[in-house]
Amino acid sequence: MQPMNTGNHVVDYEIFGEEMQYVSVELDPNEGVIAEAGSFMMMDPDIRMETIFGDGSKKDTGVLGKIFSAGKRVLTGEGLFMTAFYNGGQGKKKVSFASPYPGKIVPIDLKEKGGRFICQKDAFLCAAKGVSVGIEFSRRLGRGLFGGEGFIMQKLEGDGMAFVHAGGTLARRTLQAGEVLRVDTGCIVGFSQTVDYDIEFVGGIKNTLFGGEGLFFATLRGPGTVYIQSLPFSRLAGRVLAAAPKGGGKDKGEGSILGGLGDLLDGDNRF
């Protein structure tokens, strides 16, 4: 188990698996962890669940603070509520959270990142209680008009540990000052707050009309650390939809060299 020595709730964690990972978080009495709805996997007895409005961070006090926290989550496409898990027993207890699809769980020590980490809006999995999950507003016109998936980013703030999910294979690049990396906007998992981020036009008539890779990509400029995924969920979902049978009837020709012709020959289609 790896310790989280922070000012937030201090917990330990261990990551299991290869393609479909899950993270097991160990809680001392009264310690807690927050998570997105739908990521829970299993927990020990004496772990209690609590639905919280917003992200439950310490800095959001009062009704207005909670409403503002929840509003930030709505802007990133998330729900108004999160789930908190607390150890209400006497000894150490464990609660586990699973990856939503094949990929890697990335532990982020916010204390090492200067108290802030920027990530894709759907990358956050769970974090120590007290970590703030908000929205990273862009002040640049290019990001706002053309950012697509990469425009609205989440920011994780605090001095505890957070866990984000990367689809497919994870690439971790450490950029030196002034070093530039161009990335498909959907392939960004997250980056340090010191990384400068913008949207750039691909350019070229052939690239624009026939490239098939989109009109824009993200430009990341160091210094800082960048995490990149090989399989963004949007790409995975697009390929699943493209391969799905078309039409409302049963697709008996799936996997057959005859395909739709097989349905005609077996008399299943009536005119």
Per DSSP, the residues of 6-19 read: SSS---EEEEE-SS
Q: What is this structure's pTM?
A: 0.76
Give the pLDDT score at 17: 94
Give the pLDDT score at 36: 84
12-61+77-243 CATH, one of 3.60.160.10, 3.40.50.720, 3.30.230.10, 3.90.1150.10: 3.60.160.10
Give the pLDDT score at 145: 46
Give the pLDDT score at 203: 59
In angstroms, the CA 235 to CA 212 distance is: 12
Give the pLDDT score at 78: 58
Give the pLDDT score at 271: 46
Amino acid, res. 169:
T
Give the pLDDT score at 72: 57
- Strands of the sheet containing 103-109, edge to edge, are 47-53, 81-87, 32-35, 124-128, 161-167, 103-109
Give the pLDDT score at 148: 46
Domain boundaries, the chain: 12-61+77-243
pLDDT, mean of each 10-residue run, the chain (271 residues): 52 91 95 90 95 66 54 57 90 95 94 93 90 74 46 84 94 96 90 90 54 68 96 76 69 50 48 46
